[in-house]
Amino acid sequence: MSLHTRVRREAGKPFWVGMLTGACILALAGSVFGGAVPARASHSSAPTNVKMGGTLTIDNESGALWTGNYSPFNPAVNAESIGIVYEPLIYINVLLSKQTPMLATGYTWSNGNKTLTFTIRKGVKWTDGKSFTPADVAFTFNLVHKFPGLDINAVWTVLKSVKAQGNTVVFAFKQQAVPYFFFIANAIGIASQHIWSKVKNPVTYLDKQPVGTGPFTVSPSSSPQTITYLRNPHYWQKGKPYLSKVLYPAFTANPPANNFLEGGLADWGGQFIPNIKTAYINRDPTYNHYWFPPFGNVDIFINTTVKPLNNKYVRQALAYAVDRNRVSTIGEYGYEPPANQTDVVRPNFNSWYDASLANKYNYTFNPSKAKTLLKKGGVKGSLSLSVINIGGNTDWVSALGVVQADFAQIGVKLHIDNLSQTDFNNRLFNGHFQLGYNASNNSLATPSPYYDLRAVLFSGNSAPIGQAASSDFSRWRDSATDKLLNQFSATTSAATQHSIVNKLEGIMLEQVPVIPVTEEVSWYQYSTKKFAGWPTQQNPYVNPAPYAFPDWEILLSTVHLK
């Protein structure tokens, strides 16, 4: 099934440029993200006679009032500017592993995957009228190098140099790190050299009037309570965006944000709403819709250094003792589908999923098999275990309640420790736990199973008990696993990548360092009362949550008045 990107044909560009770009991207995308639907060129016709104008209101609990800072380098605020003000080089849709060229029109890997060259788009202007050039791209990355406090994607742990050359920008790597493409091309918003070179300390700089290349600008009338975005009439995608204004109110807690959405005051929501059918859908059944696409996993991290969890049969037993379907229905209102033991998110990564291997183990709820495995692992009688959890996540609290009941059936008494966020972090990072409930990769949505598997299995980011680990909290240390993960980093061949992931899935199935329980989802509600062009399950052209960046740029450039 082919999905065409809904990007307008650029007026005035020769047709053959589009075809050539399209061919290049087709060839390259298929090799880097193997098995994904290849991206078509960014030239396909937009719907004709689209109504221009309209004000769209977003409803997303940001947790705090706006500080009037839109710096793309500051993680506290960059979700409000990366995408619609500061654009990335290439947009990657994590749901389909599909790429759309933005400020770059294409790219090539060379030199044994140690050099990455982007071709930069011509004819783009900053919102202050100056021209956007490859020098801006090189400047942005070198700025992040000069000030390590800005390197929030840690790209300079793998980069050696970034230089502008003609109409390209050349990235030289210290070692092969192909998966970093996702962060370099998609997660970083390009800032302008002519403004940021004058900033003395970019780490503490308050970017109050951001100048970007994107479809919207920040209106000076924005207040701590609401950001107003205005249409950029000189946006490089001619005719887009269709909306004239976007309003983004700040909510400090979930209930007021939910009330706002349920009262029909917003068009696009990113909220967790209990009983969404009664609370939201039934209020306006013709126009109110929701869809929660999965993107990651919520796992039980098992501390593999602690007896008896250091025995793989005990860990396997626990994996057979979790009724994932019940956790999904009862603990998560049925919003989050059950996960599978390979940690590969389905249906997004179905092409990566090794069905035959997974079926051999068949990790479904099987208390008798679990009991047998417990005995094989040397557990005599009943077993007492404790799990740490973030008490503020009420759905995780319910989920663990179900797990507790499941474990009781195999003679394991599970004690649940609902902690504050800081307490939980401290114990999880330092390894002071037996079991811990957390998202695989800090809930980061990524375009292949590699990222979650690396977060869970790569010992390089782990640490001994008593020291803080940044990931691999289970303390899984296996040189064969590390070797596989490093091999994946070095290749752009889809076939090699798939075979590596299959082996990693084998480790997940046999060794069970973590137990994936449910799949995390993006929260997405939308009303078709005023606007059309929303992403849906049938047309998932973006990760549809308002807090997903740079995806929200694509959505806000595509929806239009009915």
Partner 1 sequence: MAFIIRRLEFFLITLWAALTINFFLPRLMPGNPAEAMISNFHGRLNPQALHALEVAFGVNNNENIFAQYGEYLRNIATGNLGNSLTFFPVPVMQVIGEALPWTLGLIGLTTVLSFILGTLIGMIAAWRRGGAADSVLPVVFIVTSAFPYFWIGIICIYVFSLQLGWLPGNLAYNVDGSIALSWDFLGQVLKHGILPAMTILVTSIGGWILTMRNTMITTLSEDYVRMAKAKGLGSLRVMVLYAGRNAILPNITGFAMSLGFVLSGALLTEIVFSYPGLGYILYQAVTNEDYPLMQAIFLIITVAVLCAVLLADVANALLDPRTRERS
Instruction: Compute the least distance from the CB of residue 142 to partner 1, in Å.
Output: 15
Residues 6+ apart with CB under 8 A from 369: 317, 320
- Could you give the 3-state DSSP secondary structure of residue 220? coil
How far is residue 14 from each of residues 43, 118, 322, 331, measured CA to CA in Å? Answer: 11, 21, 58, 55
Could you tell me the two tokens for 506? 């084998």
CB nearer to partner 1: give 175 or 225: 225
CB nearer to partner 1: give 19 or 76: 76
CB nearer to partner 1: give 226 or 492: 226
What is the C-alpha to C-alpha distance for residues 499 and 505, in angstroms, rounded to an integer?
A: 10
CB nearer to partner 1: give 320 or 526: 526
Instruction: Compute the least distance from the CB of residue 476 to partner 1, in Å.
Output: 16
Instruction: Compute the least distance from the CB of residue 225 to partner 1, in Å.
Output: 6
Asked if 444 and 318 count as a contact pair (C-beta separation under 8 A), the reply is no
Instruction: Compute the least distance from the CB of residue 81 to partner 1, in Å.
Output: 12
- Could you give the 3-state DSSP secondary structure of residue 260? helix
CB nearer to partner 1: give 249 or 513: 249
CB nearer to partner 1: give 323 or 519: 519
Instruction: Compute the least distance from the CB of residue 80 to partner 1, in Å.
Output: 10
Instruction: Compute the least distance from the CB of residue 355 to partner 1, in Å.
Output: 28
CB nearer to partner 1: give 383 or 517: 517
Residues that bind partner 1 (CB under 8 A): 57, 63-65, 67, 69, 74-76, 79, 148-154, 157, 183, 187, 203-206, 221-226, 228, 247, 249-253, 255-257, 259-260, 262-263, 265, 390, 420-426, 429, 439, 441-445, 455, 468, 470-471, 547, 549
CB nearer to partner 1: give 117 or 226: 226
* Residue that is written with structure tokens 């839109």 in the block: 70
DSSP 320: H
- Could you give the 3-state DSSP secondary structure of residue 122? coil
What is the C-alpha to C-alpha distance for residues 425 and 431, in angstroms, rounded to an integer?
A: 10
HSE-CB at 430 with a 13 A cutoff on CA atoms is: 9
Instruction: Compute the least distance from the CB of residue 164 to partner 1, in Å.
Output: 24
Instruction: Compute the least distance from the CB of residue 40 to partner 1, in Å.
Output: 28
CB nearer to partner 1: give 59 or 323: 59
CB nearer to partner 1: give 62 or 342: 62
- Sheet with strand 525-527: strands edge to edge: 216-218, 226-231, 245-249, 55-59, 268-269, 525-527, 288-290
What is the C-alpha to C-alpha distance for residues 151 and 423, in angstroms, rounded to an integer?
A: 26
Instruction: Compute the least distance from the CB of residue 541 to partner 1, in Å.
Output: 20
Instruction: Compute the least distance from the CB of residue 152 to partner 1, in Å.
Output: 4
What is the C-alpha to C-alpha distance for residues 262 and 256, in angstroms, rounded to an integer?
A: 10
What is the C-alpha to C-alpha distance for residues 485 and 467, in angstroms, rounded to an integer?
A: 23
CB nearer to partner 1: give 134 or 337: 337
227 Ramachandran zone, left/alpha/beta (phi>0; psi -120 to 50): beta
User: Residue 367: is the preceding peptide bond cis (ω within 30°)?
Assistant: no
Residues 6+ apart with CB under 8 A from 325: 338, 365
Instruction: Compute the least distance from the CB of residue 429 to partner 1, in Å.
Output: 7
Provide the b/e sequence for 242-280 (b: ≥16 CB within 10 Å).
bbbebbbbbbeeeeebbebbbeeebbbbbbbbeebeebb
Q: What are phi and psi of 288, to 5 degrees?
A: -85, 130
